[in-house]
Structures are given as structure tokens and as C-alpha cells.
Amino acid sequence: MIDKDKIAASNAETEANLRADYDALGEHLSRRGIDIGKIKDKVAGYGVAVPSWGVGTGGTRFARFPGAGEPRNVFDKLDDCGVIHQLTGATPSVSLHIPWDNADPADLLAKAEETGLTFDAMNSNTFQDHADHPLSYKFGSLSHTDAAVRQQAVDHNVEVIELGRKIGSKAITVWIGDGSNFPGQTNFTRQFERYLEAAKSIYAALPDDWRLFTEHKMYEPAFYSTVVQDWGTNYMIAQELGDKAYCLVDLGHHAPNVNIEMIVARLIQFGKLGGFHFNDSKYGDDDLDTGSIDPYRLFLVFNELVAAEGVKGFDPAHMLDQSHNVTDPIESLMVSAMEVQRAYAQALLVDRATLEGFQQDNDALMATTTLKRAFRTDVEPILAMARLEKGAAVDPVSAYRASAYRAKVAGERPEVTSGGGGIV
């Protein structure tokens, strides 16, 4: 972890400027009838989960270019996640991926306590073969034509739930790559029937206070059809499985041009929004840093979430899910967590009563201007003040770089050579 004194020293340098900005913003907001303190408190209470796999350098099918100090195992990953939370105060929990993060539950809990973290939704993996799974997922997992492969995949999910139960998780996210690469390769209907049957077996193993999140994705790794290809199919699944089944929305898993915030609204309306995998994309499932490509879209998603606050049973999980190919993953995750907070803070500034009036009157121009006014407010002082007050860093990236954490772990963790992706 980072030396607290160093963080404090770093904060001390910028505190005066921050207070000036914060006060000016507070005055401005008070003229708009908004209490900056209340916004700050909500932001301070907000957290987004970090994916354990996000702290390693990502890659493409063409290549992977690791950085220094790549985490070797789940404990290294938790160390890195701990730093992210320490500096941002915004990422109190970690989402594990099994088998990548398999470990003794007691050791996981101990490490979590050490790093000040808890465990968010568990993730199973049947899109890769496992060393200890005799059967291959080359042609599918939960929807495979062979019942034995389906059973193997179900068993794995049940084990993941079991591990999660022991470490305090309350949900499992099931994403599979099942689909096809050729017209005719699979029978869409039979395949989905098999999927549903297998998913019901997993659902049956769910503890009472758990939720099951299924995640749709348009394509990749399957390139002609994907079993859970969009929110329509995802919604069907959640309906078929039962009250503990919800739909997870990954911002990068949709067809070009799709209005994602509208899908979010539909799932909220019908009580089936389970949560998010936040990231950003320009082309496909690019897994770029959240808010890096289209920050207004992120705001529009949060506009729906803030509008739904207080709806009975509305409690979506928030998680980052990104691939960091050209940045230090710790830095990207810190910045992304703050971008999520930023969108949340901006959405909190929307004058909803006024907006509703414009909507009722079909005053499209003033309605959209009402959203834009909230979006263009620079809420950075609010985020920074929330961090300052909880002992995190006013400027997490600067503090992180100053800490030389990366150099330290690079010395402890063996170098990883660059490697090819799937194509070699």
C-alpha cells in the first residue's frame, strides 16, 4: 500500500486550490438551488467494484504487451486493487474470476481485510478450457450439444457460487462465449433450450440472498451468432429463471448505434436490471477506459440510474470491466472509477422537477438543455473534496506516480515477456 503520509503531503500541496474551486462551485450551485455538500456526500458514499483481471495488462488476439510488475496471482491483484481504493476511495470491492483467482477462501478473506476490500460478484469462466476440466468448451459450454460438457460447466458455476459464499459475495455473473461461427452450425432454438436448462441448474444452486446476473454480448468470441446476443434474450433468461435472476449490461456489448440508456430504462421498468460492466468503446467490445470515448453516454446512463433511485428493489451492481493494453492498469482503473463517480455526480445535478415539466410540455430544447447543464458542470472539485475528506488522494494518479508503487512491485514480481494473442 501507499504511505499515508505521502498521500497527505501530496494533498497538502493542492488543498488550497481545491478549496477555492470547491467554494466557487458551491456558490454557483447554491444559485441553482443545489447544496454542494449533499452532492459530495452522495459521491463519497458511492463505490464501483474493480475486476481482479483488470489489474493485469490486457491484450488482443494479435498480441499482449505486458508492463512491469504484472500481478502473478489473486493476492498480487488484491494488492493492486487495494492501492486503487486507497487512492480513490471509490472502489471498495473486487470481483473475482474463477479459475483465474482460485485460492483458499480463508486466504482470500485475510488478504481482503489487509487491503481493506470486500468481494463483489463472482465470475465463472467457461469460455476457456480448464486444466482440470476433462472436456473442452471449444464448441460451447452451457449450451453445448453434449450433456456432459453442459454438466461440467454447471458444476463449475456451482463451485464458483460455493467459493463466493465463503468469501461474502452475494452474486454470480455468468457470461459465456457460446454461439457459432457459421450459418447452420447450430440450431438457434435447441441451443437456447439447452442453455436455459443449464442456467436453471445453476440458479437452483443459488443461496437465498444471492442474485444471478446474466450478461449479453452481440459477438466475440463467436462471430456469426451468440446465444445471449442482446438484452431481449437476456430478459427472456431472467424471466425464465426467476426472481433472483437479473440482466447485466456491459456498455460495450451492443450493436453499433444502439441506445443503451434506453435499454437500461426498460430493464429498470420491468425489474430486471442487475448491474453494469462499465467501460467504453468506439467500434466493438473495445473494453476501453470508462468515459474515455463518449462521456455524455455514460452520463445518460447515470441519468437513468439516479432517476430510478428509491424504486423498490432497485439495487444494481456497479463494476468496471476493461482491458488496459497501453496504460498502467492501476492508473486506468483509478481514472475510470473517478469517471463513473463524475457521471454520477453530474446526474445528481439534474433538476428533475424542471425536466419533468419540459417533458410534459414537449419542450425538447429545454429538456435536453436541462441535462446538458448538469453534464457540463465541472464537478471535479466535488469528487476531489470527497477524496480529500476520506483520506484518499486529491490527485490519485500523481500520488500513485510519486509513490513509485509500480517500480516496487516490478522488483518483486518477475518480468513477463510479450506474447502473441490467439492468432499464433
User: 20-39: which residues touch its own copies (CB under 8 A)?
Assistant: 20-21, 24, 27-28, 31
Residue in the structure block whose three cell numbers are 437465498: 208
- Residue 180, beta-bridge partner list: 225
Distance CA 43, CA 387 (A): 9
The one segment of 5-13, 103-111, 157-165, 268-276 that binds its own copies by CB under 8 A: 268-276
**Cβ at position 126, least distance to its own copies in Å:** 10
Q: What angle do CA 37, 41, 42 make, to 5 degrees?
A: 120
| 351 near its own copies, judged by CB under 8 A | no
**Cβ at position 59, least distance to its own copies in Å:** 3
| 327 near its own copies, judged by CB under 8 A | yes
Q: What is the CA radius of gyration of the chain?
A: 22
Q: Which of 270, 200, 277 is nearest to 242 (CA)?
A: 200
**Cβ at position 65, least distance to its own copies in Å:** 4
**Cβ at position 327, least distance to its own copies in Å:** 5
Whichever of 37 and 420 has its CB closer to its own copies, that residue is: 420
Angle between helices 4-31 and 36-44 (to 10 degrees): 140
**Chain residues 380-409 in contact with its own copies, contact rule CB under 8 A:** 380, 397
Residues 127-146, mask of contacts with its own copies (x by CB under 8 A): xxx------xxxx-----x-
Whichever of 79 and 280 has its CB closer to its own copies, that residue is: 280
Distance CA 242, CA 204 (A): 10
Measured in whole angstroms, the distance separating CA 327 from the mean position of its chain's CA atoms is 18
49 neighbors 318 (Cβ within 8 angstroms): yes
**Chain residues 196-255 in contact with its own copies, contact rule CB under 8 A:** 218-221, 223-225, 229-233, 235-236, 254-255
Q: Cα dihedral sign for 91, 96, 100, 106?
A: positive
Order of strands, sheet of 211-215, starting from the edge strand that comes earlier in the sequence: 122-123, 171-174, 211-215, 245-250, 273-278, 317-320
* Cell numbers found for residue 270: 420491468
211: helix, strand or coil: strand
Residues 34-63, mask of contacts with its own copies (x by CB under 8 A): -------------------x--x-xxxxxx
- Residue 261, beta-bridge partner list: none
| 314 near its own copies, judged by CB under 8 A | no
Measured in whole angstroms, the distance separating CA 152 from the mean position of its chain's CA atoms is 27
Q: What are phi and psi of 304, to 5 degrees?
A: -70, -40
Whichever of 124 and 281 has its CB closer to its own copies, that residue is: 281
Whichever of 6 and 297 has its CB closer to its own copies, that residue is: 297
Q: Cα dihedral sign for 354, 375, 88, 28?
A: negative
Query: Residues 37, 110, 309, 418: which binds its own copies (CB under 8 A)?
Result: 418
**Chain residues 88-127 in contact with its own copies, contact rule CB under 8 A:** 100, 127
**Chain residues 273-292 in contact with its own copies, contact rule CB under 8 A:** 281-284, 286-289, 292
DSSP character for 280? B
Query: Residues 265, 343, 384, 386: which binds its own copies (CB under 8 A)?
Result: 265
**Cβ at position 207, least distance to its own copies in Å:** 28
Measured in whole angstroms, the distance separating CA 214 from the mean position of its chain's CA atoms is 14
Query: Residues 33, 134, 209, 257: which binds its own copies (CB under 8 A)?
Result: 257
Query: Residues 52, 152, 180, 290: which binds its own copies (CB under 8 A)?
Result: 180
213 neighbors 248 (Cβ within 8 angstroms): yes
290 neighbors 336 (Cβ within 8 angstroms): yes
**Cβ at position 95, least distance to its own copies in Å:** 15
**Cβ at position 230, least distance to its own copies in Å:** 7
**Cβ at position 329, least distance to its own copies in Å:** 10
Whichever of 114 and 146 has its CB closer to its own copies, that residue is: 146
| 377 near its own copies, judged by CB under 8 A | yes
Whichever of 205 and 265 has its CB closer to its own copies, that residue is: 265
Whichever of 206 and 319 has its CB closer to its own copies, that residue is: 319
**Cβ at position 120, least distance to its own copies in Å:** 19
Distance CA 28, CA 104 (A): 52
390 neighbors 86 (Cβ within 8 angstroms): no
